[in-house]
Structure 1
Amino acid sequence: MRRNRRTTPRTARVLGSLLLVAAAGAFTVGAAPAPPKTAPAPPRTAAVPLDRVVPAPASVTPGGAPYRLTRATAVRVDGPAAVRRVGAYLTGILRPSTGYPLPLTDGGSGGIRLHLEKGDYGAEGYRLRSAPSGVTLTAGTPAGLFHGVQTLRQLLPAAVEKRTVQHQSWEIAGGTIEDRPRYAYRGAMLDVARHFFTVAQVERYIDQLALYKVNELHLHLSDDQGWRIAITSWPRLADYGGATEVGGGEGGSYTQADYRRIVSYAASRYVEVVPEIDMPGHTNAALASYARLDCDGVAPPRYTGTEVGFSSLCVSKDVTYAFVNDVVKELAALTPGRYLHIGGDEAHSTSHADYVTFMDRVQPIVAGYGKTVIGWHQLTGAHPAEGALAQYWGLDDTSAAEKEQVARAARAGTGLILSPADRVYLDMKYTKDTRIGLTWAGLVEVRRSYDWDPGAYLPGAPAAAIKGVEAPLWSETLKTSADIEYMAFPRLPGAAELGWSPAATHDWNGYKVRLAAQGPRWDALGIGYYRSPQVPWPHG
């Protein structure tokens, strides 16, 4: 049911980097031809109201005059090197568009201050205070400061995202924002298996995720159509199994150095990478690479279609578990994050008994290398390991029996990540006329994607069992970063808000106005998005 009761399923490759280019140096406005030697003041731009931020902050107290960035503004940091890196990230965003030098300093007063202190901020919360004398971002961790920087960006005019000098004023509305996330797990998945996406494309998507405080990037690294990560002990997986994709393209794969680069880049944006090796089904690329993984010892041809459910590792062979151990061992060593996703959905060619046997043997392997298991919610039909998370991708009309199976596991201690396909699968078409995407879960317009409550979505599942929300993007029909962005925006920010913001702030009528205000920012960032008629976008 992840894809289609009949066929089909997932998504994506990704992005390149946006927010890095820090153009240092002062900008001088050219003098008028006649005697006044002072440059004309830049046109004033109204400050963005504090309540226009996405995701909605936990608490907003507007008031007082705004703070105005000028050529004299400095970014002041105190604390460990990680705080200075957040400050450098901020100046890298602000310098190109403002033309201001914005020196990074640990002294002085005023300006923009990034400050660590003990307090009730949690692992990712922050406080932002803006007044004419300056802006102070305070948090208990560098991650909190980084998330606060994303809010600060949204409080500046959208033109701040441009890479060339913009002649206007830069004001940050006065007041205070107190903020922290509702859920610790706020994810997005990119399917690089159906179509391969380069490191630069993935990095671009990471930058876009960071803007909306998404902190988990789930990479779907293997499927029937391609194997995308080099495994030294099984080299044909990437060399042969990675050399194709949906439609018969050349595919591609990440070297281990490539993967480390993605992980490192994500970490610089406080995003944790969650690698997925889907098994025992969705394994045709592996079987084509190594015939001994198939029960009959015959390698199938590589696959470039979009059907699902026809492949399976051979559960009865010892070599299967040697293979799994080797792959998990190498991938765990490359991945500093907490999680390793083992898939487990749509194993239609595996008997239920074999499925249970396989999961019972594989989960301890993952734990043995220090990682927490995540599996698609079919894992709850086996024996989820202690501490494991199940990712629910069913529909609103999924059978009561299947929902109860998941809820029962949740009541027994299995944590849940919610990814209902007819709500937050970003590869679903918006309307029947959407040029790319799938329809097996239905048509998912922006309001439908946003208008649900994770805490009350799954009947019988305790609210405490919900660990977060993830928006998957499967790539059967996606080939470029432009495709990724068109399907992700404007729905991705809504999924991010469901994960971050308090339930009390969720209101479509208010959200659609805040979402509309993001349009000019995406224009400035070069993000092509779907202009849903449900959203009152500026300028028609």
Structure 2
Amino acid sequence: MRQRRTFPRLLGSLLLAAGLAGLGLTGATGATGAPRAEALRPLGAIVPAPASVTPGGAPYTLTRATAVRVDADGTGDTDGRATRDIGRYLADLLRPSTGYPLPVVDADEARGGILLRLSPGATALGEEGYELRSGRTGVTLTAYRPAGLFRAVQTLRQQLPAAVEKRTVQPGPWRIAGGTVTDTPRYAYRGAMLDVSRHFFTVDQVKRYIDQLALYKINKLHLHLSDDQGWRIAIDSWPRLATYGGSTQVGGGPGGFYTKDDYREIVRYAASRYQEVVPEIDLPGHTNAALASYAELNCDGVAPPLYTGTAVGFSSLCVPKEITYDFVDDVIRELAALTPGRYLHIGGDEAHSTSHADYVAFMDRVQPIVAKYGKTVIGWHQLTGARPAEGALAQYWGLDRSSAAEKEQVAAAARAGTGIILSPADRAYLDMKYTKDTELGLSWAGYVEAQRSYDWDPATLLPGLPATAVAGVEAPLWTETISQSVHIDRMAFPRLPGIAELGWSPATTHDWATYRLRLAQQGPRLTALGIDYYRSPQVPWAAE
């Protein structure tokens, strides 16, 4: 008898744990005590957890005869290009490890296989939802919009053995459990931030992170493009911002910056993974790189030296000067023209060298500039101490120990209509050390192990915050101590998948005991992808 499950917390935990154990996915099976890799992953035993799973029926097995079929006559894809591109993306993922040709063909050119289709009638799936239906003769992925098909591909990918991620031919078999997954996200905003200012990361390094984010259904890439230590985006009207302000980084390295073509390529690549780039220019503090580049931006007309340390709160634009707003207008105008996404982040945190009156006056001038160029403001939660613009989002990075007054300020702004992105530093900041022995990272917000990073509910984190005001979650990665992709890997994983699950999965799925088992099975997949993740002792990692 088929059994539909929507993961009520206790029952879902017991059912999934039993299913994992029954297939050899839990429990010690060797000298290492690690659970062995799966023969057939139970339907829905992935990260993030799906909203609804109905297991049953025979699995589908990929063979040399399998084709990727695309039905491109659907909603939001009138010329079929998006659906076909997603089909090619899927085939490109699967070909190296399977060794199969996996041709991408029109739906009526073959039978069975993997069918990708957009359905005008699937409105309940929304912008990013999907249905995956698997059986003996094939797998069908259905969505209302192309983004939903792309998210479905990530689910199909995780249902296959971890070796599917390798770039050389593996033995298989390649089986997808039978049944149906119907899935939609809890929150529309599910982000990850990469600080490219403290240390600069190349276009290829950013693309690598984009691909990692895609696996876990992240849909926003927040790029922190300016700070005291470096300015990272070319601005034609103020060229020294990049050429001089971008010439260093923490510790005094060479820095770097993105040309406009570089930035366009990041935006294009992110869009191909159905991620929206959210650029941030941090204002009015965290601005030493700009102040060093142009003396006239300083109240005393004297440019400070470039800065390569890690202190915060010492810099500020000159709020009374009119040239400040000419500068801001030019930067936002050029950045908005490069950015097709909806949002532009204006920072606003740790402006300790700006008086409260000046801070409010500055935000009153700058937020309308963002609107003038067609973008919606995001600011760090200190923006709620000013007058957030209509429709603005505030990004909360406070701690459990933050004052009741600070939390209430954010909650009051939310009750007045400001949406909130939740990035609590003592849970979601990926640069916090796991333990005192972690070589990388900082610890000012405390130590953040895998369980602490996962085990909180966005809807109840802040007292007095209406659940309807929560726009979503974001996992920031600040880079004072992060300078290489291998550092990103170690600090983002395994915590990033947990934050992604909080953003995507229904609250009823939230259960550490079950999540740690699903996370354990991500270990071999991360290794196959070349990601050297932190082996948290809180997780019973599967054998590689």
TM-score of the superposed pair, with normalisation by structure 2:
0.91
Cross-structure match for 1:68:
61
* Structure 1 segment 68-87 matched on structure 2, within 5 A: 68-79=61-72, 80-87=80-87
Alignment pair present for 1:112 and 2:135:
no
* Structure 1 segment 48-447 matched on structure 2, within 5 A: 48-79=41-72, 80-106=80-106, 107=108, 108-117=110-119, 118-119=121-122, 120-447=124-451
Contact 2:44 2:181 in 1 (8 A): no
Q: Partner of 1:456: helix, strand, or coil?
A: coil
Q: Taking every aligned residue pair, what percent have the same amino acid on both sides?
A: 76
User: Partners in 1 of 2:411 and 2:361 — Cα distance?
Assistant: 22
User: Partners in 1 of 2:542 and 2:380 — Cα distance?
Assistant: 39
Code of the residue aligned with 1:114 in structure 2: it is: L
Code of the residue aligned with 2:381 in structure 1: it is: H
User: Partners in 2 of 1:485 and 1:526 — Cα distance?
Assistant: 9
Code of the residue aligned with 1:175 in structure 2: it is: G
Cross-structure match for 1:6:
none
Contact 2:524 2:543 in 1 (8 A): no
Contact 2:454 2:512 in 1 (8 A): yes
Output one character per residue of 1:9-38: Cα deviation in whole Å (capped at 9) or x when no partner.
xxxxxxxxxxxxxxxxxxxxxxxxxxxxxx
Offset of 1:538 from its aligned partner? 1.5
Offset of 1:168 from its aligned partner? 2.1
Q: Partner of 1:435: helix, strand, or coil?
A: coil
User: Partners in 2 of 1:175 and 1:444 — Cα distance?
Assistant: 37
User: Partners in 2 of 1:140 and 1:59 — Cα distance?
Assistant: 17
Q: Partner of 1:314: helix, strand, or coil?
A: coil
Between the two proteins, the alignment pairs up a number of residues equal to 497
Code of the residue aligned with 1:74 in structure 2: it is: A
Contact 2:44 2:159 in 1 (8 A): no
User: Partners in 1 of 2:118 and 2:258 — Cα distance?
Assistant: 37
Code of the residue aligned with 2:456 in structure 1: it is: W
Code of the residue aligned with 1:115 in structure 2: it is: R
User: Partners in 1 of 2:454 and 2:286 — Cα distance?
Assistant: 30
User: Partners in 2 of 1:173 and 1:268 — Cα distance?
Assistant: 28
Code of the residue aligned with 2:46 in structure 1: it is: V
Code of the residue aligned with 2:474 in structure 1: it is: E
* Structure 1 segment 443-482 matched on structure 2, within 5 A: 443-482=447-486
Output one character per residue of 1:254-308: Cα deviation in whole Å (capped at 9) or x when no partner.
0000000000000000000000000000000000000000000000000000000
Mark the runs of 5 or more structure 1 residues left unpaired by the alignment. 1-43
User: Partners in 2 of 1:169 and 1:516 — Cα distance?
Assistant: 21
Q: Partner of 2:459: helix, strand, or coil?
A: helix
Output one character per residue of 1:38-77: Cα deviation in whole Å (capped at 9) or x when no partner.
xxxxxx9722111311000000111011000000000000
Q: Partner of 1:453: helix, strand, or coil?
A: coil
Q: Which moved more, 1:160-169 or 1:320-329?
A: 160-169
User: Partners in 1 of 2:300 and 2:281 — Cα distance?
Assistant: 22
User: Partners in 2 of 1:77 and 1:518 — Cα distance?
Assistant: 29
Contact 2:241 2:293 in 1 (8 A): yes
Code of the residue aligned with 1:94 in structure 2: it is: L
1:47 aligned to which of 40, 45, 50? 40
Q: Partner of 1:166: helix, strand, or coil?
A: coil
Output one character per residue of 1:193-232: Cα deviation in whole Å (capped at 9) or x when no partner.
0000000000000000000000000000000000000000
User: Partners in 2 of 1:488 and 1:135 — Cα distance?
Assistant: 32
Code of the residue aligned with 2:104 in structure 1: it is: L
User: Partners in 1 of 2:173 and 2:413 — Cα distance?
Assistant: 55
User: Partners in 1 of 2:379 and 2:439 — Cα distance?
Assistant: 31
Output one character per residue of 1:309-367: Cα deviation in whole Å (capped at 9) or x when no partner.
00000000000000000000000000000000000000000000000000000000000
Offset of 1:169 from its aligned partner? 1.0
User: Partners in 2 of 1:482 and 1:490 — Cα distance?
Assistant: 13
Q: Partner of 1:413: helix, strand, or coil?
A: coil
TM-score of the superposed pair, with normalisation by structure 1:
0.91
Q: Partner of 2:432: helix, strand, or coil?
A: coil
Cross-structure match for 1:488:
492
Q: Partner of 2:344: helix, strand, or coil?
A: strand
Code of the residue aligned with 1:58 in structure 2: it is: A
Q: Which moved more, 1:459-468 or 1:46-55?
A: 46-55
Alignment pair present for 1:498 and 2:502:
yes
Q: Partner of 1:416: helix, strand, or coil?
A: strand
Code of the residue aligned with 2:170 in structure 1: it is: Q
User: Partners in 2 of 1:51 and 1:217 — Cα distance?
Assistant: 26
Contact 1:45 1:169 in 2 (8 A): no
Q: Partner of 2:254: helix, strand, or coil?
A: coil
Contact 1:45 1:171 in 2 (8 A): no
User: Partners in 2 of 1:331 and 1:141 — Cα distance?
Assistant: 28
User: Partners in 2 of 1:390 and 1:373 — Cα distance?
Assistant: 8
Q: Which fold has the larger relative contact order, with Cα–Cα distance below 8 Å and residues 6 or more apart in sequence? A: 1
Contact 1:45 1:170 in 2 (8 A): no
Mark the runs of 5 or more structure 2 residues left unpaired by the alignment. 1-36, 73-79
Code of the residue aligned with 1:139 in structure 2: it is: A
User: Partners in 2 of 1:349 and 1:395 — Cα distance?
Assistant: 22
Code of the residue aligned with 1:63 in structure 2: it is: G
Q: Partner of 1:152: helix, strand, or coil?
A: helix
Q: Partner of 2:333: helix, strand, or coil?
A: helix
User: Partners in 1 of 2:223 and 2:328 — Cα distance?
Assistant: 18
* Cα RMSD, aligned residues only: 0.9
User: Partners in 1 of 2:101 and 2:417 — Cα distance?
Assistant: 52
Q: Partner of 1:455: helix, strand, or coil?
A: coil
User: Partners in 1 of 2:453 and 2:543 — Cα distance?
Assistant: 24
